Chain A
Amino acid sequence: MTLNFSHRPIIPAHLTEDRVSPMRIVNSYLVEGIPQKNGDGYLESWHSNCEREDCIDYGRDKSGGQFGSLEPVSNDIIDLLPSDPFGMDITSTFTAITGWLEDLEVDYGGYVRDDVGTGDGSHQLFAGLNFIWNNSMWFQTFPGECKGSVSGGLGVCSQAKERGNVSDHTGFGSAHSAQGILCFGNEDMVSVDQENDEFQDCEVCSEEHEGAPHEALSFAFGYLGLRDLFAVESVCMSLRSVVQNDPLLWRNIHIDQPLSDKLTDDVLLQITRRAQGSLQCLSLVDCQRITDEGLQCVVEENPKLVKLSVPGCTRLSIEGILNSLKALKSVGRQGVKHLRIAGVYGVTQKHFEELKLLLGMDNQIQQIVHKPHFYNRRNVCEDDRAIDIEMCLRCENVRLVYDCPAEGCQQKDHTAQLCRGCTLCIPRCIQCGRCINDGEYEETFSLELLCSDCWRDEFGCDQSCCCVAVCTAGHDFSASSGI
C-alpha cells in the first residue's frame, strides 16, 4: 500500500496486511502503534517524522510497553488473545477514533498553516478544506477492508463531536468545520469545491476598483424586468442607489406572475413612486390584490400616464377605473390613451360610451382597421387600439370580441355572418382560436374548449374518455397544460 503524503502515515502499511482494521483496540489502547491523545510525546513525533519506518519503529518502541498483546509475557493462549478484537467496547472505540481524528486535525492544521502562509482567512479556509477533501477522498479509496471502519468511524465521530467531546485545539478553527464536513456525505464536499471555484472566478473577473460594480452595469438595467431590478437592488449600495433613484428605469412598469399575487396597494405605490411622476405605461396582469383606491392613488401621482393595462385584476371595478381616468382628465392632462380592462365585469353600454369619451375615441376615425384579435390563453390585446373591449354585435354586451383564424370564416364579407363575437356567442378553441362547430370539441378540466385537432395535438388521441380523471385506456395527459 502506498501512502500519498509525506508527513506521516496514517495507517502503517505493514500492519494492514495482517490486521482487519487499523484501529483495533486492546483495553482501550491502540494496538498498531497509532498513538492515543494522551501520549503527547507521540504527537510531536508524528508531526516531524517523515520516514515511515521511523514512525512505526518509534511508535512501536514507545508503545510496546503499554500494549501487552505485542509482547506477551505468559504462554496462556487466553492472555495472548486481545480482549476486544472487534472494537465491541463502544466507549473505547469512541475515544480511540476521537483521538485519532484529533491527531489528524492537529496535523492538518500544521500542514496548511505552513503551506498557505499569510493568505487571507477565507483563502486559507478554502485551501484547508480542499486539502482535507482531497485526503478524505484518499481515505475513501483505501483498501476495502479498512473502508467500512473508516467511514463508520467518521460517522460515529460526528455524533461524538455533537455531544461535545470536541478536541480542544483552537488554532485552526476551520479544521473543526472541516471535521464536520468529513463526517457528512460527499455532497457537502462538492459544494465546498464549487465555492472554491467561484471564489477563484470572482478574482478573475473583478474590475479595476476592487469589488465595485462596473459602470457598464447601469446601462444594462434598462433591459431588465422588475424581478431582476429588485435583485440588482440588493447587490450593493451603489447599485441600490442607481436602481432606486433613476426614474427612467421606472417609466414602463409591467407586473406579471409571480409578483402579481404578492402585489398590494402599498407596494404598488412604492414602486410607482420611483418613477417620480414620469410613469407612462402601467401594466398589471392578474394582480388580484389591487383595489380601486390603490389604482387611483397611483394614477393621481402620475399624470403623464398614457397606457393602462389591468387584465385579470378582479378587485377593480369599472366605476373605479372611470373615476381614475376622470381624475386625470380633470387636471388637464391628455390622459390615458390605451386601456386594457379585459376581465372587468359589469361593463354596460353607458360605461362604454363614457370610456370612449375619456379615451378620446370619438375624435378618431371609427373605421380604423385593427389587426384581427384571436382568442388565446394569454387573453391580452397587444396592438395599439385604444380599448380592448367592444360591443359584441350578436348579444350587444360589451366584452372582448374575437376574430376567427379559421380559413372558412375569412371569406365571409356579409357582416351578419362574420365570425366575430364574444366567447359566449361564439365558442372558440383556447389553443388555436377557431370557432368550434357542433360536436367537434372537448372540454378540459379548466372548462376550456379544445377543438379536435388541438386535442389530438395535445393529448395524442381522439378518445373522449380522456376527459375523465383516470383514463381507462391508460392515456397519459400529465404533460398537458390544459389539465
Chain B
Amino acid sequence: MLLSKNSALESKDNEIFEVEESIAIQSELIKTMTTMVNSKAYVNERNQMVPEARCRKQANYHVEQNNKIVDEELSDWESKFFEVDMDDLHELFMAANYLEIESLLNGVTKRVGDFIKACKNVEVIRQTFGINNDFAAQQEEEIRKLNSWNHI
C-alpha cells in the first residue's frame, strides 16, 4: 500500500501537525499553496493565523470524515462534532473561513443556523449573538408596521 504523502502544517503557536496530503488539500488555501510550492514528500507550510486548537480540530475533522464512509455514521459523528458552544463555534468558523474548507464551513454555518432557529424572538437572537439594536425608534416603528401582517 502506498504511503500517502504527508504535509506538515505549522500553526501560529508553532505546533506542527502532520496530516495526509489528501486531507490537507481539502483546505483550498493549503491546496493553492501546495501547488504553488511544487509539493514534495514533506511539505512544510505555515499557518500563521491559525492557533493550535483550531488546527488540531481541522486535522481531526478531516481524518474522521475520511474514515467514516457510511452516511449514517458520518451524520451522527458530525452532529456530535458541532455540538459546541458559541465560542468554539466561532473559532471553528474563523479557521474554516481562513483555510477555506467548504465542508467544515457548511457544518459550522448550519449549526449557527440551528442556534438562530432555536431563538424564540428577536430579543433572544440579539442576546445570543451579542448584537446591539441599532435601529432608531422611528425605524423600529416602521419595521413594526411593515411586519404587522406577520403578527396578526
Contacts and interface: CB of A to CB of B under 8 A. Distances in A.
Contact of A230 (B109, B134, B139, B147): B147
Dominant SS among interface residues on chain A: helix
Given A231-B122, A259-B150, A262-B149, A220 B116 contact: yes
A205 B132 CA distance: 12
Interface string B73-110: 00000000000001100100100010000000100111
Interface of A: 198, 201-203, 205-207, 210-214, 216-217, 219-225, 228, 230-240, 259, 262-264, 267
Given A203-B130, A212-B132, 11 more contacts: A211-B130, A214-B129, A217-B112, A223-B117, A228-B116, A231-B122, A232-B116, A235-B125, A238-B134, A262-B149, A262-B152
Contacts of B150: 230, 259, 262
B67 interface: no
A213 B131 contact: yes
Interface in B118-152: 119, 121-122, 125-135, 139, 143, 147, 149-150, 152
B88 to A, nearest CB: 11
Contacts of B115: 220
A213 B129 contact: yes
Given A224-B117, A262-B152, A205 B128 contact: yes
A228 B129 CA distance: 15
A223 B87 contact: no
A224 B113 contact: yes
A220 B132 contact: no
Dominant SS among interface residues on chain B: helix
| Top-3 shortest CB links A-B | A211-B132, A223-B113, A206-B130
A205 B117 contact: no
Given A216-B93, A223-B110, A232 B125 contact: yes
B63 to A, nearest CB: 24
A222 B109 CA distance: 9
Contacts of A205: 86-87, 128-130
Nearest to A267: B149
Nearest to A225: B117
A240 B112 CA distance: 17
A240 B125 CA distance: 13
A217 B130 CA distance: 12
B133 A216 contact: no
18 contacts: A205-B86, A206-B130, A213-B129, A219-B93, A219-B112, A224-B113, A225-B117, A228-B116, A230-B147, A231-B122, A235-B122, A235-B126, A236-B132, A237-B135, A237-B139, A239-B131, A263-B149, A267-B149
Nearest to A198: B127
Contacts of B93: 216, 219
